[in-house]
Structure 1
Amino acid sequence: MYPVHQTADILFCKGNLVPVGKDNLPHVEMTRVIARRFNDRYGQVFPEPQALLTSSPEVPELDGRKISKSYGNAITLSMTADDTAAAIRKAPTDSQRRITFDPINRPGVSALLTTAALCSGRDENDLADQIGDAGAGALKKLTTTLGNDFLAPHRQRRNDLAQDPHHVADVLRIGNQRANEIAQQTLEEVRTAMGTIY
């Protein structure tokens, strides 16, 4: 049911551009199919949303697998710099001394290079060349430094928000109220189009 729930999340507000990762492209396509079928049957109500992929449409986690809470392989904003360093130290690599970017044959090393590249705006191959024969320890140290530097202002903003829970609750309440108004308006349009207003 998750893709259908995601469809509802997109269509209730008539989303036309949906920022997603590569793994969610089929969900956006399902949304497009549902919108198209509804519009064909009842008249134009929903736009057919387009997927918006960023320059990094697929981000492997520290072990090269997909993100999963059950894997415990993600770096989160709630982590401290020390927590991040510990997570990166535990990331699997391999026994080859030379660092190269090869997602198929070296998923762990490549995942760390991708993390470092995303945090620094540099290319994975350039970072691999910079590390050269220094080994996995140097790769993990560089990834930790770049990751923590990149996340520091985001974590500070998160901490600032956590210090003012009333403000956060107000923002959530106002956003929820606005979303409910939009959803109600869309639901009325859907009922009108379907002839189910009694």
Structure 2
Amino acid sequence: SCPRNGRQFTIARRFNNRYGKVFPKVEALLSETPLLPGLDGRKMSKSYGNAINISMTAEETAKRIKKSQTDSERMITFDPENRPGVSGLLSTAAICTGRSEVEIAEEIGMGGSGQLKKCVTEAVNEHFAPIRARREELVQDMDYVKDVLHEGNRRANEVAEATLAEVREAMGMVY
């Protein structure tokens, strides 16, 4: 978790202890994939050049995956410790397909890194196809995007104002 968030939780907890329960207790909400591995097995990061961006085309995605580093061993196995590049690619395919890394590795078997990269490219592009299509639609209608952002901003301000009113009330600062 981000250290910044930890401070916010502490401030909220201390406030609640002093003034009464105003802020809800916050708990981490983790998906089945709390950490996205990069194509090389390290954490996914734009600065590492191991990330796949939603804005990439299918061709750009294929190019990025093709350039990812693997090893010379022909048999594909999932071994994050000793084969981080191969394992990172297997994890990416697993996330996109809902299958396990081991299952995908066994299916590829002696197909080598070329077959692995082909499998990952297909999985990623298939997974992102509807998202990329929707993104393209939205890019064509920026007025709609701005309206959604403004409405979200309005609703967030409404909630923030109500919370601040509760804070002032709890602190006895209502004049």
5 Å-filtered alignment, 1:2-151, equals: 24=1, 29-151=6-128
- Alpha carbons 1:28, 1:49 under 8 Å: kept: no
5 Å-filtered alignment, 1:161-180, equals: 161-180=138-157
Superposition deviation, residue 27 in structure 1: 5.8
- Alpha carbons 1:100, 1:129 under 8 Å: kept: yes
Deviation sequence 1:144-173 (CA, Å, 0-9, x none): 011101110110011111111000000000
Match of residue 192, structure 1, among 148, 169, 172:
169
Superposition deviation, residue 96 in structure 1: 1.3
State how far apart, in whole Å, the 2-side matches of 1:27 and 1:144 are.
36
State how far apart, in whole Å, the 2-side matches of 1:76 and 1:121 are.
19
Identity value in percent:
58
The 3-state SS of whatever aligns with 2:28 is: strand
Equivalent residue pairs, number: 175
Instruction: Return the letter of the residue paired with 1:131.
Output: I
Instruction: Return the letter of the residue paired with 1:110.
Output: S
Instruction: Return the letter of the residue paired with 1:102.
Output: D
Relative to 1, partners in 2 of residues 1:83 and 1:102: Cα closer, same or farther, differing over 3 Å? same
Superposition deviation, residue 192 in structure 1: 2.1
The 3-state SS of whatever aligns with 1:135 is: helix
Query: What is the TM-score when the length of structure 1 is the normalising length?
Result: 0.83
Query: What is the TM-score when the length of structure 2 is the normalising length?
Result: 0.93
The aligned residue for residue 159 of structure 1 is 136
Instruction: Return the letter of the residue paired with 1:133.
Output: M
State how far apart, in whole Å, the 2-side matches of 1:53 and 1:130 are.
29
Superposition deviation, residue 31 in structure 1: 4.1
Unaligned runs of 5+ in 2: none
